[in-house]
Amino acid sequence: LQCGPGQSRPSPRTAPGSPRRRGRRRRFAPCGPHDELITSVPDKKDSLCQQDDQSQGGDIDIFRAGSTLRDIWCLVHSLMPLCDSAHSACVSRTFLRSWRCHPKLIFTEETLGLKRTEARDFTSRVNQILKNHSDTGVKILEFVFDDRNNVNTCHLNSWLQKAVTPGIEKITLFLPWRYREEYNFPCSILLDGRGNSIWYLDLTNCAFHPMVGFDCLRSLTKLRLYGVCITGDELGHLISNCFALEELQVWCCMELICSTIPFWLQRLSCLTVSECDMLRVIESTAPNLTTLDFFGEPVQLVLRESSKVKHLKVGYSYTPNAVSYAITKLPSIAPHLKTLAIYSSSELCRRLIPQW
Please give the chain's pLDDT, 356 residues, in tens: 444 444 445 454 444 444 443 344 433 333 333 333 333 333 433 433 333 343 334 333 433 444 566 666 666 766 666 666 666 666 666 666 666 677 889 999 988 888 878 888 999 989 988 887 777 788 999 999 998 898 999 999 999 999 999 999 999 999 999 999 899 999 999 999 999 999 999 999 999 999 999 999 999 999 999 999 999 999 999 999 999 999 999 999 999 999 999 999 999 999 999 999 999 999 999 999 999 999 998 889 999 887 889 999 998 877 777 778 788 888 888 888 899 898 877 665 544 445 54
Amino acid (1-letter code) at residue 170: K
Whether residue 194 is contained in a domain is answered as: yes
- The answer to whether position 222 is within a domain reads yes
Question: How open is the CA angle 186-190-191, to the nearest 5 degrees?
Answer: 110
User: Per the domain annotation, does 307 fall within a domain?
Assistant: yes
Strand order in the sheet with 258-261: 258-261, 281-284, 300-302
262 and 195 in one domain?
no
Q: Please indicate, yes or no, if residue 8 is contained in any of the structural domains.
A: no
Domain boundary among 101, 133, 157: 157
Same domain, 136 and 180: no
Instruction: Classify residue 12: in a domain, yes or no.
Output: no
The count of structural domains within the chain is 3
Residues 207 and 170 placed together within one structural domain of the fold: yes
Quick one: 152 and 51 in the same domain?
Answer: yes
Give yes or no: residues 171 and 215 share one domain.
yes
Residues 212 and 278 in one domain: no
Shortest CA distance to 259 belongs to which of 299, 221, 205? 299
Distance between start and end Cα atoms, the chain:
31
Q: Do both 92 and 170 map to the same domain?
A: no
Range of the domain at 80: 46-157
| 176, 238: one domain | yes
**pTM attached to this predicted model:** 0.74
Closest CA to 270 of 239, 250, 247: 247
Looking at the fold, whether 190 and 217 belong to one and the same domain comes out as yes
Residues 331/286, Cβ–Cβ less than 8 Å? no
Q: Which residues contact 107 (CB under 8 A, 6 or more apart)?
A: 82, 122, 125, 126, 129, 142, 143, 144, 145
Q: Which of 250, 265, 292 is the last residue of a domain?
A: 250
Of 93, 127, 157, the residue that ends a domain is 157
The C-alpha atoms of residue 199 and residue 181 are separated, in whole angstroms, by 26
